Amino acid sequence: MTCSGENSIGAPGAAEGTLIGWREWVGLPGLGIEYIKAKIDTGARTSALHTFELDVAHDAGVKIARFGVHPYQRDTDTVTWCDAPVVDERSVRDSGGHREWRFVIQTPIRMADREWPIEITLTARDTMLFRMLVGRTAMRSIRVDPLASFLTGRPPESNQPG
């Protein structure tokens, strides 16, 4: 940790020392989500994605999660339907201290012109301000400025979400 208020946390695929703010637009190309506003949370171990209508089935012996995502804050009309192999199931403690059993998927995240695989837990975050939370295990070699926002840029005007 540095005296300037920045945290150094590392992630494969990210440029050494990439600086991001406490909230950023990220992409989840493996899920077909071009942009989603994410809270960068160095206090959270695991990343989380808001999902609804989550269903898990077996396909050729592989557990597959199928779910919907509302990628934009305060917009329940825009839906992206996703499916991804389940890589784990684990008990996660939420910000209120409650334990919840969650499915875990692995998918690439795109941020700061870089892309690398991260694990994401699937949960209902409809009462939370951000539809995605990026936890510290997804952020190796990244520095976070807690006073800054959107240091990696914003979506192009033609793709600006509602």
Domain assignment of residue 158, yes or no: no
Q: Which residue has the tokens 């990696």?
A: 152
Mean pLDDT of 17-36: 94
Sheet holding 7-10, edge to edge: 7-10, 141-145, 18-21
Specify the pLDDT at position 157: 66
Identify which has the larger pLDDT, 137 or 7. 137
Of 10-19, 60-69, 124-133, 149-158, minimum mean pLDDT range: 10-19
Share of the chain above pLDDT 70, in %: 86
Domain assignment of residue 11, yes or no: no
Q: What is the mean pLDDT of the chain?
A: 85
Q: How many CB atoms are closer than 10 A to CB 141?
A: 17
Domain assignment of residue 109, yes or no: yes
Domain that holds residue 74: 28-139
Domain assignment of residue 89, yes or no: yes
Domain assignment of residue 68, yes or no: yes
Specify the pLDDT at position 1: 26
For residue 87, the number of C-alpha atoms closer than 13 Å in the C-beta half-sphere is 11
Inform me whether the pLDDT recorded for 11 exceeds 80: no
Domain assignment of residue 51, yes or no: yes
Whether the CB-CB separation of 85 and 67 falls below 8 Å is answered with no
Domain assignment of residue 100, yes or no: yes
d(CA 22, CA 100): 25
Number of domains within the chain: 1
Helices (H) and strands (E) in the chain, counts: 0, 12
Give 12's pLDDT tier (boundaries 50, 70, 90): very low
Please state whether the predicted TM-score (pTM) of the whole model is above 0.75: yes
Domain assignment of residue 15, yes or no: no
Specify the pLDDT at position 9: 41
d(CA 24, CA 38): 5
Instruction: Please report, for the domain that includes residue 131, its CATH number.
Output: 2.40.70.10
Give 125's pLDDT tier (boundaries 50, 70, 90): confident
DSSP string spanning 71-110?
A: -STT-SS--EEEEEEEEEEEEEE-TTS-EEEEEEEEEEEE
Mean pLDDT of 40-61: 93
Q: How many CB atoms are closer than 10 A to CB 102?
A: 20
